[in-house]
Amino acid sequence: MKPAPFDYIVPQSLEEALGLLHDLIAQGVDVKVIAGGQSLMPLMNMRLATPAALIDLESLSGELAYIEEGNGLLRVGPLTPHYRLEESPVIARACPIITEAEALIGHPQIRSRGTIGGSLSHADPSAELPLIWTLLEGRAILATKTGQRVLRPQEFFISYLMTALAPDEIITEVQLPVALEGVGQALEEFSPRHGDFALAAVACQVSLDEAGCLRGARLAVGGAGPTPIDVSEVLEGYRGEAVTEKLALAVANQMVTHLDPPDDLHASREYRLNLVRELGRRAILKSYQRCLRTTDV
């Protein structure tokens, strides 16, 4: 469990990092960027990943670790570690589902090192932040030496641990919409032990119209396919209706017909679908309850 030899490079600025990345790729060097290392280091220690060079972004924390809110947008630096998201009052107000999710991500040691950019780039379909980013239709700014582009979750996630990130590209910002007043969010997940990747997770965000019926409807599932899956269209079909136990169950039942989860060591396909159904039902009702609470205030 020792990594293969690699060159270790510490850039002093984002510009330098992107330049180095560009040049090394051009030379045919198998180079990877590393942030908190919570996914890449185990892969390297088990020699499942053997990059010839690592560019360590930690030195760019001053530049790329931030949480900013403005114009209805939450802008998060990719090197922001989990614990800062967990403790941030800005996040708690502007995107409370992230605060809720952080308590479920790994353990304090992992949250101390792991970053939001790392979590999205690693693209584990069971991970919480990719799910929430999908739920909220966030954006990621990706930069290379020569330019930048903005991707949506559906464009960014390709498959298990695969993203649209080009080898010479780095996420330079993660964006999420600020949760408006009256919006209710909830995350429900199931894992065998605290801190494990979820066997299944469902995230929901709803808002209500003046009659107290469903208006805004977002719904996404994690752990049930190669990427987080946006199933909002199912919930959208019930716009204008009262949110009841019956509605939640109907949506949950309908939602699973969009999924094709795999069998694996820890859960059969059938069990996963059952979990998604139950977690979906709970997430819809919980986000509705939270909606009512914030509306009352």
Partner 1 sequence: MTAIGKPVKRLVDPRLLRGHGRYVADIHRPGLLHAAFVRSVHAHAEIIGVDISRARGLAGVVAIWTPDEVAFSPLPLLFAHPKLDPVTQTPLGHMVHHVGEPVAIVVATSRYRAEDAIAAIRVEYRVLSGVAFLHEALSKGAPRVHRDRPHNLAGEFEQRVGDAQAALREAPVVVHDHFEVGRISCMPIETRGLLAEWDGGLDKHLTVYAATQTPHMMRHIYGQYFGLEAENVRVVAPDVGGAFGAKEPFYVEDLVVAWAARELSRPVVWIEDRLEHLSAAVHEREQIHESAMGLTRDGRILAVHDQFLAGTGAYVPWGIIVPIITSTLIPGTFQVPHYLCHAKVAYTNTTPLAPYRGAGRPQAAMVINRLLDAAALKLGLDPAEIRRRNFIPTDAFPYETGLISREGSPMVIDSGDYPDLWETLLQEGQYSYWRQRQKALDEDDRAIGIGVAIALENTGMGPFEGAVVSVKENGTVTVATGAASQGQGHETSLAQIVADVLGVRMDSVRVHEGDTDAVPLGTGTFASRTAAIAGSAAHGASLLVKQKILAMAGQLLEASADDLDLKDGRVHVKGVPEKSLTLGDLAFMAQGPFPGSTYSWPIEPGLSATHYFVPAGAVYSASAHLVVVEVEKHTGQIKILHYVSAHDCGREINPLIVKGQIIGGIVAGIGTALYEEVLYDREGQLLTNSLMDYLIPGAVEMPDIISLSQGTPTPLNPLGVKGVGESGAIPSPQAVSAAVQDAVRGWGIAIRRVPVHSQDVYLRDPRS
Which letter, b or e, does each residue of 160-196 get, where b requires 16 or more Cβ atoms within 10 Å of its Cβ?
eeebebeebbbbbbbbbbbbeebbbbbbbbbbeeeee
Q: Select 64 or 231, whichever has its Cβ closest to partner 1.
A: 231
CB of 171 to partner 1, least distance (A): 25
Cβ contact 217:235 at 8 Å: yes
Q: Which residues bind partner 1 (CB under 8 A)?
A: 1-5, 46-47, 190, 192-196, 249, 253, 256, 265-268, 270-271, 274-275, 277-279
Q: Select 61 or 254, whichever has its Cβ closest to partner 1.
A: 254
d(CA 277, CA 188): 11
2 SS3 class: coil
Could you say which DSSP state residue 178 is in? P
Tokens 């972004």 belong to which residue? 57
Task: Name 33's bridge partners.
Answer: 55
CB of 292 to partner 1, least distance (A): 22
Nearest to 128 by CA among 139, 116, 140, 138: 116
Nearest to 12 by CA among 51, 50, 64: 64
Q: Select 139 or 277, whichever has its Cβ closest to partner 1.
A: 277
Q: Select 46 or 166, whichever has its Cβ closest to partner 1.
A: 46
CB of 117 to partner 1, least distance (A): 22
Q: Is 88 exposed, middle or buried (0-12, 13-18, 19+ CB in 10 A)?
A: buried
CB of 115 to partner 1, least distance (A): 20
Q: Are strands 53-56 and 31-34 parallel, antiparallel or unpaired?
A: parallel
d(CA 62, CA 255): 42
Cβ contact 135:218 at 8 Å: yes
Cβ contact 103:187 at 8 Å: no
Q: What are phi and psi of 222, to 5 degrees?
A: -115, 155
Q: Select 112 or 295, whichever has its Cβ closest to partner 1.
A: 112
CB of 173 to partner 1, least distance (A): 30
CB of 261 to partner 1, least distance (A): 13
Q: Select 171 or 273, whichever has its Cβ closest to partner 1.
A: 273
Nearest to 145 by CA among 23, 11, 10, 32: 23
Q: Select 190 or 238, whichever has its Cβ closest to partner 1.
A: 190
Q: Select 79 or 248, whichever has its Cβ closest to partner 1.
A: 248
CB of 198 to partner 1, least distance (A): 12
